[in-house]
């Protein structure tokens, strides 16, 4: 009887040691992982713990847009890891760690990991910070299905519905593509081309025409390639936005432009950029001024940008009526809102163009 009691005690101690060992191993792995991948584990533990313990913390996420730097993550690491280890169940911890291991072994970085664990938010990196934006029901969502995208043997992206190809292959070009053989481009099944008409300088603010604009638009039209236009904006007032629109309208007046006229909204990293201190509200106001002039002249206005453009620089709720052209260099779409054109690579290979070129996929007919 005493032997049985002793064995039971020993077995109980062994079980406790195994449990402690498992927990300790999980914590050590967590520490190592978090040291290299920033904020992911902290937020994941909190998020999963909330699900496991039914703790009401979602209101906190809705009221505050969380941004964390690497330094802040390191400072919270020790405290939060211990807290999470105590609160989260072993099953939850193992599930999280196993998924993290899987993502790390597949080569996915911090950003993709955060996007996996936060499917109801859009995660954007800006100035070494991770920003979380709730997906808004007030904005129209796109209806493209991931399984309908097909990557060809030539690394081109196509979109099918009911077995029928509905997407259109296009490019966008500027002086950086140098001299283009548009006859060869047409033979490569390019249906449309967005051609840069000009830019406004980010320091002096002068508007200049792209040196290859005329040869590009004439070459595209001569070879029956539908044309759209884009202008790189650095407007700092409504007046400048209207000036840019008028410059575009004057330049394209002689040509049959059937695809959208696009405002290219991108951040300039230079500290002396004229637009460096613009607010989201200001940029949105200038974009509207440009688009309204283009629409008033009978063309289809469109706004080009990446995730930073649409989530940080512009207020999409005020720009809902204008078509969007998304720049995201990937074959897996990460953008929930409606858009008409997707620039999915800047390293495309097209006959007749000696340099890398942006390739786009569009989901609608704009032409005649």
Q: What is the pLDDT of residues 257-315, one digit of tens each?
A: 999 999 999 999 888 999 999 999 999 999 999 999 999 999 999 999 999 999 999 99
Q: Tell me the pLDDT of the chain averaged across its residues.
A: 82
73-76 long-range Cβ contacts below 8 angstroms, 24+ apart: 73/34, 73/38, 73/39, 73/42, 74/35, 76/42
Please tell me the predicted confidence (pLDDT) of residue 14. 46
DSSP 8-state class, residue 319? G
Of 81, 353, 45, 366, nearest to 226 by C-alpha is: 366
- Check residue 70 and give its pLDDT: 64
CB 304 within 8 A of CB 262: yes
Residue with tokens 């991108």: 266
- Per the CB < 8 A criterion, the answer to whether 144 and 333 are in contact is yes
If one counts every other C-beta atom within 10 angstroms of the C-beta of residue 153, the result is: 5
Q: Are 241 and 265 in contact, with CB atoms under 8 Å apart?
A: no
pLDDT at 88 over 60: no
Residue 300 gets which letter from DSSP? Answer: -
Is residue 231 within 8 A of residue 299, CB to CB? The reply is: no
How far separated are the first and last CA of the chain, in Å rounded?
94
pLDDT mean over 114-140: 92
Question: Residue 37 — pLDDT band, cuts 50, 70, 90?
Answer: very low
Residues 53-78 have a mean pLDDT of 49
Would the pLDDT of 52 be above 50?
A: no
In whole angstroms, give the CA distance from residue 362 to residue 367.
12
Torsion of CA 28, 29, 33, 39, to 10 degrees: -70
Beta bridge partners of 241: none
Q: Is the pLDDT of residue 35 over 70?
A: no
> Which strands form 121-126's sheet, in the order they lie side by side?
67-68, 129-134, 121-126
Backbone angles phi, psi at 214, to 5 degrees: -65, -45
% of the chain exceeding 70 in pLDDT: 73
CA distances from 75 to 80, 128, 286 (A): 9, 16, 41
Q: Residue 316 gets which letter from DSSP?
A: G
């Amino acid at each position: 009887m005493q032997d049985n009691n002793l064995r039971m005690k020993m077995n109980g101690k062994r079980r406790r040691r195994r449990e402690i060992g498992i927990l300790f191993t999980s914590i050590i792995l967590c520490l190592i992982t978090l040291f290299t991948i920033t904020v992911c584990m902290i937020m994941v533990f909190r998020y999963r713990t909330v699900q496991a313990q039914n703790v009401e913390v979602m209101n906190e996420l809705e009221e505050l847009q969380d941004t964390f730097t690497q330094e802040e993550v390191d400072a919270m690491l020790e405290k939060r890891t211990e807290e999470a280890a105590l609160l989260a169940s072993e099953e939850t911890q193992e599930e999280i760690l196993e998924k993290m291991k899987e993502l790390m072994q597949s080569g996915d970085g911090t950003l993709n990991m955060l996007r996996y664990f936060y499917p109801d938010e859009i995660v954007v990196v800006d100035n070494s910070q991770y920003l979380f934006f709730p997906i808004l029901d007030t904005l129209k969502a796109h209806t493209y299905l991931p399984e309908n995208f097909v990557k060809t043997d030539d690394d081109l992206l196509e979109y099918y519905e009911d077995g029928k190809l509905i997407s259109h292959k296009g490019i966008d070009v500027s002086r950086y593509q140098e001299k283009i053989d548009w006859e060869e481009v047409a033979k490569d099944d390019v249906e449309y081309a967005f051609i840069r008409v000009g830019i406004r300088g980010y320091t002096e603010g002068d508007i200049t025409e792209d040196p290859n604009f005329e040869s590009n638009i004439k070459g595209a039209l001569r070879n029956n390639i539908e044309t759209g236009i884009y202008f790189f904006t650095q407007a700092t007032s409504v007046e400048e936005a209207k000036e840019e629109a008028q410059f575009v309208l004057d330049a394209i007046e002689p040509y049959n432009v059937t695809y959208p006229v696009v405002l290219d909204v991108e951040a300039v990293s230079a500290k002396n950029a004229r637009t460096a201190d613009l607010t989201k509200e200001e940029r949105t106001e200038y974009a509207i001024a440009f688009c309204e002039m283009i629409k008033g002249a009978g063309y289809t206005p469109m706004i080009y940008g990446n995730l930073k453009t649409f989530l940080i620089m512009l207020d999409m709720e005020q720009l809902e009526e204008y078509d969007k052209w998304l720049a995201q260099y990937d074959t897996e779409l990460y953008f929930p809102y409606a858009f008409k054109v997707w620039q999915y690579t800047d390293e495309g290979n097209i006959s007749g163009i000696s340099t890398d070129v942006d390739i786009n996929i569009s989901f609608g007919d704009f032409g005649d």
